[in-house]
Structure 1
Amino acid sequence: MLKLFIADDEDIVREGLKNILDWEELGFKLCGEGTNGINTLEGILANNPDLVLLDIRMPKMHGTELARRAREEGFTGRIIILSGYSDFKYAQDAIRCGVNYYLTKPVDEDELLDAVKSIQEAIRTDQERSSNMETYREKAKDSILRDIIQDDKQHNAPKTSDSISNSLNLEDLNLVADSYRALILDGYYPQDTEYYTTFCKLLRVSSIKSRNVERVNIADKEVVIIKGEMLLKQFQAVLDEMELNPKSDSFSNLFIAAGRVINNINDVYFSYHDALTLLNRRFFCEKHQHMLLPDQLPNADQLTYAITEEDSKHYCNLFYQYIQTYNRKGIESSLDELKNNLFYCKESIDSIQSFLTGIFLHLKHLVEQNYSDKELHLNSNSEIIDFIHHSRYLYEIIQYFNEQFDQIIKAIGNSSSDSVIDDILYYIRYNYKNNLKLDTLAPMFGYNSSYLGKVFSKKVGSNFNSYVDQIRIAQAKEMLLQDNLKVYEISKNVGYKNVDYFHKKFKKYVGISPAEYRNKHNIQDID
């Protein structure tokens, strides 16, 4: 519906104008009324009506002056002035002030109807022209954006012979800003959808149309250009939140590869190239990592790791030895090493996946060949190949390796508590500085903490906490024999944050204080 505004200082005249025509049938709806020049001008600027019926003799401001000021303020709607005077000079003044029709009172119904229908047709024509022009502008903008993003040297002019296009420039298309950043959006997993909607919600912009967000599809990739210092600051806040709360449901279906910030639209190509390079390295993202930034790319001279057949055999044999000796920690350490090496690999993702597939299939062959009497229940070769080559992230493959190796250990090895206790003892020896609790460690090794505590005490001869204390105190005794460490430093280094608590534990197991122990061995106390 088109909007109608009626202004006259007489109530009876306004009521008459409301009813003189069937406004609803003509496609108009009353949006406001004015009783004097001041509130009429305010009402016109506030409601932006399509048509104003305006009395020329208005209190506080003459109708022609009101029309002039409305035009100066940017009002583009149609105005019909109603006047009790037929003087040609009034009509001339009204036309100069941007009035479309000048009708004399009393208003003739047919004359008003003809004027309104003419205005209605003019508005419809303008709307169609505007719609067609907007459609053309969007097509032109899309073409220009593609050229700029892909570094087409001809991007300064739209690729069309239409004469209208010659009047378009970057400012006309709302492509001029003080800063830009190219992003490529994707789902966190292949099945994730509506990630653009998620992105817009995070950025607090409209997902349908925003003046500071340009959206274009290039090679089936969702490319977004964000513009302006304020929006770039909002985007940085989103990145900060992603880093602080990577598991938040707010962006669980969204992945962003973000190029550098640039200040000239002609350099958007470089930002886009950053984002494209980052997207191609999303394979190396950690779990729950929803973004990649330029500073997370390794330099070209850092990509020194080259996968070889010798490496494939090395890792296969290494994992096989660890499996045979039930060395889960060795497996985890080697998987971390492999993952780190591959991060600096210069080969394609497909080549890396093939490399990992070769390691696993060769290992599977060795296990099946030498433990044919065991029920292994391993996946088929085709299932293994399918999983590795369809994994979007390296961490998924590493996790799969770890789970499969553990399954093989349980199938071919001695699954009694002894091997688990050995693993725990190994873990304690290298992690005594940390806050170790059996309740935390037991699930890591697949056991109930109460049961494992009993087995531990039986195997080691002391309970878990006492054993950890003994390891820490043994390390503290060695450190006390060094003359460059203070007692409070030693306390911290062996896992006791409270130095008084450390004194208490040390005296319990050694019989004397740390200072006495140091003096006894002729080392000067430097507390």
Structure 2
Amino acid sequence: MLKVFLVEDEIVMREGIKNNIPWEEEGFDFVGEASDGELAYPMIRKLCPDIIITDIKMPFMDGLELSRLVKKDLPDVSIIILSGYDEFEYAKEAIRIGVTEYLVKPVSSAKLLEAVKEIGSRIEKENEKKKYLEQFKKEMKEMELHEKEKFLHEILSGRIPMTELLEKGKKLNIHLAAGVYDVVLFMMRQAEDMDGTCSKELPAAWDTVMELAEQTENIYMFNRGIDGVEFLLLDENEKRMEQKRDDFLKELTDIASKSGELQYFIGVGNVVNRLREVHESYESASKAFSYRYLISSNRIVYAEHMEEMRAGIGGSDDADIDLKELDFGKIDRKIIKNFLTKGLLEEVSHFIEDYFSSLGSGNVESILFRQYITTDMYFGTVAFVEELGYDADSIIAVFGDFKAISEVFPSVEKTKEYLKNMIREAMNLRDRISVKKYGSLIDDAKAYIEHNFDSEDISLNSVAAHVNISASHFSSIFSGEEGQTFIEHLTALRMDKAKQLLMCSSLKSSEIGYAVGYKDPHYFSYLFKKTQNCTPKEYRMRGKAVNAESTRNAYNTGNAYRAGMEEV
């Protein structure tokens, strides 16, 4: 209900307005009253009414002065001035201040109520318009983010000419002309393993990260779903880039460390000089990022320092096992299981290479040691696959019989290749289970969308709540499984329904927009033209033309058939 506040120094008048109008029955909440502007001002600031009714002549502070003060603090508030003076100067000043209505006393309760209701109707329409505008902005932002993600893949492919990338980038407000480029991969999650839910700290921290990226010049953020985000950094030269990157990384780690309940990991790529080389920076950042399975969280790994890290772990080429060189913490099935659970297929090669490096180059030259590591990884992987629900026959069919594993030991490269293939196969089995798991969730979500597509309240948050997972997690799953964002799916569904109504009903375009969930006809028309490449009116006319042509063809065919029958 809209809130009404009354300021009137004449007690009889004040009591009459307060008691003679059935405010609640008429859909209003009478929230307070005061005898003059000075008393009213602090109360109004606290109560934030939608409509203020005030007398113009009062002691201490009159209605015009009160209106000036209130309009500064609450510019959207509507003010009705009650005046015993039907003078042009008063009315002109009220208009200048922004007063909505100027009524000359005496004013009957009926006339005052009529004015309040008219203003209330305008406020409701304006609020509804603001609501749809906010929804429009939200949907447009989600579509823009998806377009940026697709654009990122084009940048990383290295196959698109620079001029085309620069042109596309401008349309997305991404200005790519620079002296040097760098890629940073960033992940942030709860200290405990994620189970599909998230604490209040995590989404709030991500919002802060997004604001930081938006406010920092020449840094563009791209979403990578459940794998975090990618930042593309641009600057004039390498020295300036290092300073920009260091400052930005410090702010990122400060955000992630603020609550003490979040973990982060950052992989930093090598700086490159050309736009078409950005995929090389991304590849080096991915290698650095894959270390998150081998070392503790809350770390930054620079691609340029990885060789130093390996050298610090590595040793001689001697085939004997050097216990001093060996980090026994790395021979831990938890590391393998962690990667099998959360890793990506594209990271398998990086993971095995880094894992072997962490064990010491001298140690992995020993066949005996490789046998031990391979055997341990084999049984660790088998145990993981068994937990997924696969039986022994399925496991042997995929991984082969353990008795034949001796064939992979003749060289380090053969051993690595075997382990890479084994882990890839295990992850494929994992992903099949994941598809089944998410399949029912996606089906449930799509059924809910189909049933509620015409509701103005349907949103990513409401659908995620329906399937009982966080909005960010649902967004990643839906995009991954369906190949389109939630908003793209909802928009496509609504457009299909709209096209049916355009062809099969006499409803106006605005009525059709309302029927498929768009309360703002302008927004509906905008989206229809953007997705269908024509206006609703053009689509309807085109459909009528096609139908007319089909009717003529059918008529001509019928005539030809009848003529043929007559000849027979």
TM category (shorter chain) comes to 0.3 to 0.5
> Higher helix proportion, which one?
2
Asked which structure has the greater CA Rg, the reply is 1
Q: TM-score, normalised by structure 2?
A: 0.43
Q: TM-score, normalised by structure 1?
A: 0.45
By relative contact order (CA 8 Å, sep 6+), the higher-ranking structure is 2
